[in-house]
Each structure stands twice: as structure tokens, then as C-alpha cells.
Structure 1
């Protein structure tokens, strides 16, 4: 029985994989978070992975606090880059399959059409810089690995835009949301399913893949969809990102082209609103 090591098990994607794991009992699942596997402890990381001895690693761990990363540079570099190099090196030496999750923030946001896996990378914040360094280390140390870039992740688990907006719309009469950053959200449950589709596909095809839900929207339009599906009575106005300065710059356009993952592994990519509806139904039932 192949043993799967999942890092970052308490995050949004890790939590969704825990839910999904019940449908994949042909695997032995080992879910780890900081307490069970400290990715910052680079000196002992190799021996800790060797102790678990997985045949598959799904790396969901990352330093994802984009604004804090601007000052927590060393921590970002360890979690998003150096730890990946260690995992990739071990997996390559031990014939272990590695799926590493990356981000649309490796792009600068100046594109005007959906970004393919071959589009030029040029990150504009520390989070993006360290995630790109992690991608490069992953491919260098283990050319047989799979990297999945995703964007705007949300879930019924953890803190995210959908949960924050749902809460604010119940507390406030008006909200301002950025309307000039374009992309597509990703329901973490859909990404978890895509990962399992890859792992159970008859052929392992190494390389970089893009995954997010279908749709091309702004954060403002995302908020409007949350308002509609949640039946909230809150007035929402669109504002330019320049009116809402943050420590880290965000890409203005980071819509991902999903053709490669669909064509290679037969992954089904749901429409963003269909997935948002599922997630909000779960949140209402909690």
C-alpha cells in the first residue's frame, strides 16, 4: 500500500485532502502539520521524511501570509523554498512521487490573456519570489515532480476571502472591494480532487500545471457572488487597488489557463460559482 505524506495538513488544502482521503482507502495517509513535521528544521527534515518513508509526498505547506512575508523574509524563504529543496532531493533519491503546490503570484500581473505554464514568471512580492525559488528548487532537485500553481484559494476550513466576506456582510451595511485585480478563485476541495485524479491516473506526467475554477472575475465580482448566494443585505462598491494599499503588491491579472491539466489527466474543472455554492452550503450547515 502506497503511503502518502501530506504536509500542511491543517491548512485549507490539507484539510480538504483529509476529507477526501476517506474515499481513497487504497492509500495509507500520513497527515502532518508543524507539530508532527517541522519544515523549518532543515537539519532534521531529511531524517524525519525518511522515518515516515512515503512513496508519495503532497506538499501543501507554505508561508502564505502575503503581507507578513514582506518582513518575514527568512521564514518565507525556508518554508516556500529551502524546505521544498530538501523534500525534492529526498523524493528523487528514494523514487518517491512529489506534488508541490505553488501560486499565481509567481507572475507579475501584466498579462492580458489566461496564463499558460510556459508564461514568463516575474514575481512582484516576497511571497511570489520565495514560491518561485521553491518551484525552481523542486524541478532542479527532482525533475520528475509535479508542480500545481493555483490562485485565490478558499474553503470551509481556515481563514479566507469567502468566510471573511460572509462575516462582514452580516455585520456591515456597506463594503468596498477591489475591482481591478482579475483572476479566478479555487475551491480547495476541487484542487484536492484534481490532485487525486493525478495520483490515480495511469500515467505520471512530470511538470508544471495550472488549476483554478473556471471563470474570469475580479475580487469585487467574487464578493457580489458571495452576497447573492448568501442572500446578504449589504451594499458592495468596487474600488481600485490603489485605494487599498497593502504591504505586498498583488498581480493585477493572474487568470490561469487550465488546458494542460485537463488534457493530460482528464481533470474536470468546475465553474467558480458552482463550487462557491457548495462551499457556502457547507458553511451554512456548520
Structure 2
């Protein structure tokens, strides 16, 4: 494999990539946290490129606090647009391929059929706007790129919906969870596997792709599955979004069509409940080890 640099390596996806690299003995992958290589710091980025001379850069660095972004629009735009611009320029100058992670939040949520890559984008919150701006920067600044939109990311690492539900399930007998927001949960380990598969294939079919696990769920469905698969006796009550107001609006429907990535890049995608079971099993194993 070619030399690879992962930016934002301390996040969920970055840690999943690190786990896969260890399991597969991939010594060519270099992992840099945002503290080691802030994508807003051009001087540091230039030093990273000079030292590693990467053939591929995987950008996992992002401002992801959806509600806080409503009050911190400038910070969100800086990281998700300007930082991505910095990486894109350097990738073009150094002839490196950029793999950039984006989100289903670039869509309005007003659709009722799975969204293709050619569907019109219309973000309804600052986070979505900043991520769409990052996508546009990649397209404008470097030709050798893969933009991968994903959704509802979870894993054994970091803070995410699965770990929050498991924690709350131990503290409470009843929970209220939104049922009128529909999407596709994505196991970050599956996404990491997809990214490494793209690199290993050496494909030059650059462009925008959708990747989430197969299937459709509401947050209520997702929570129910978490408790069923982990055998926790928690009563989950479905509620409307209007009963659980948040600073930022969320898309009501953001199920993405994955036909392109399967057809063009030959990527196999697991069903969301199967991957959820894998993650829960691993979480319990790691807890038992402690």
C-alpha cells in the first residue's frame, strides 16, 4: 500500500482506522490527531506533507457539534470549510488523493425516497452548511478526491448514540426517543473498511459517494434495536421531534442511496442491525476485559 496520512485520528472513524491498521499490519498509515496536525495550520500541514509524502490523505477532522454550531458558525466554517480547503490545496500540489468524509446533513430532509449523489442539497442547519461548503472546496481545489457522505455514525469509540443509549439504559427504566427522523445508522468500523478498500483497489473513479449501512430506521427503531440486542429491559416511548426541541433542526428523512459506491467501486455494505450487533458484542467484551 501507498503511504497514507489520517487527519483527525483521535475521533471515532480515526480510531476505527487505527484498529484495522493494527489488525492488518498496515505500517504505511500515519495517524495524526488534531493536536498534532490542525488542518487550519498551513505551516504544520506543509511539514506533514514534506515528512510523509503521502499518496493518500484521509480527512476525519471536523467540527461535529451540531447544536453548538448554531452559536459557533464561524468556528464550524473555519474547520469544515477552510481547513478542508487547506488540505485540498496541498493534496493537489503534492499529487495526493484526498478522501474526505461528509454527512447526510447536507440535505433538507424533505424527501421521501433514498437520496442519490445528484440530489439537490439544501442544509437546514449551520453544521450542514459548513460540511457542504467543505465538499465544494474539495471539488474546486483538487481533482483526485473521494468525498464520502455518511450518516448516524457510531462505534466502540468516542461519544455516540449507541453508547449513550447503553449508558441511559443502565440508569433508567424508561426513555423517550424521536420517531419522526429517519435515516441509516452507520458502524464506523464498516466505513473504515470501505475507505481502506478504496485505497487498496487503487481506483481512479474519483468523485462523490454515499456510504451508510443498509436499511432504514428512525431514532426510535435504532434505540429499540440497541436494547433488544443488548438484552436490556428498557421501555422506549416514541415521541415527535417537536417534543424534543434542539438548537439545530435535523433532517426528517436522510436515507442515502448507495447504488453508486456498490456499482462503481464494488463495495459490499452490511445491514445495519448486523453491524449494530457486532458493535454491541465488542463493547461488552471490552467492558468485561476491564
* Paired residues of 2:57 and 2:96 also in contact (CA < 8 A): yes
Tell me which moved more, 135-144 or 40-49. Answer: 40-49
Deviations 1:23-51 (A, max 9, x none): 54455111011221012324543344334
Deviation per CA, 1:162-190, whole angstroms, max 9, x where unpaired? 00001111110110000000000000000
5+ unaligned residues in a row in structure 1: which ranges? none
Matches within 5 A, 1:111-190: 111-190=111-190
The offset of 1:78, in angstroms, is 1.4
| 24 and 265 in structure 1: CA distance in 2 versus 1, 3 angstrom threshold | farther
| Matched positions, count | 286
Matches within 5 A, 1:203-222: 203-222=203-222
- Give the distance between the partners of 2:116 and 2:72, measured in 1 at CA: 30
Instruction: Give the distance between the partners of 1:153 and 1:23, measured in 2 at CA.
Output: 21
Distance 1:26 1:11, change over 3 A: closer
Distance 1:87 1:273, change over 3 A: same
**Cα separation, 2, equivalents of 1:163 and 1:230:** 11
Once the 2 structures are TM-superposed, how far is the Cα of residue 133 of structure 1 from its aligned partner? 0.3
1:208 counterpart SS class: strand
Q: Quote the residue 1:85 is aligned against.
A: 85
Moved more, 34-43 or 198-207: 34-43
Q: CA deviation at 1:75?
A: 1.4
3-state DSSP of counterpart to 1:200: helix
Q: Separation in 1 of the partners of 2:2 and 2:261?
A: 23
Given that 1:148 and 1:211 are in contact with CA atoms closer than 8 Å, whether structure 2 keeps it comes out as: yes
- The 3-state SS of whatever aligns with 1:5 is strand
DSSP-derived class of the 1:149 partner: strand
Distance 2:256 2:103 in 1: 10
Q: Name the CA distance, whole Å, in 1 between partners of 2:48 and 2:200.
A: 26
Higher mean displacement: 158-167 or 37-46 = 37-46
Q: Does the Cα contact within 8 Å between 1:187 and 1:275 map onto a contact in 2?
A: yes
3-state secondary structure, aligned to 1:35? coil
Give 2:250's aligned residue.
250
Q: Are 1:15 and 2:15 counterparts?
A: yes
Deviation larger for 199-208 or 244-253 = 199-208
1:92 CA displacement:
1.1
Q: Do structure 1's residue 30 and structure 2's residue 22 form an aligned pair?
A: no
Residues 182 and 254 in structure 2, CA contact (< 8 A), matched pair in contact too: yes
Asked if 2 retains the 8 angstrom alpha-carbon contact of 1:179 and 1:218, the reply is yes
Other-structure match for 1:285: 285
Q: What does 1:265-276 correspond to in 2, within 5 Å?
A: 265-276=265-276
The answer to whether the 8 A contact 2:37-2:44 is kept is no
**Quick one: distance in 1 between partners of 2:50 and 2:177?**
46
Question: Residues 138-174 of structure 1, C-alpha deviation per residue, up to 9 Å, x if partnerless?
Answer: 0100122110000000000000000000111111011
What is the root-mean-square deviation of aligned Cα atoms in Å? 1.3
Distance in 2, Cα, partners of 1:122 & 1:162: 28
Pair 1:106-2:111 in alignment: no
Distance 1:14 1:176 in 2: 31
Which residue of 1 is the match for residue 193 of structure 2? 193
Q: In structure 2, how many angstroms separate the alpha carbons of the residues matched to 1:11 and 1:34?
A: 9
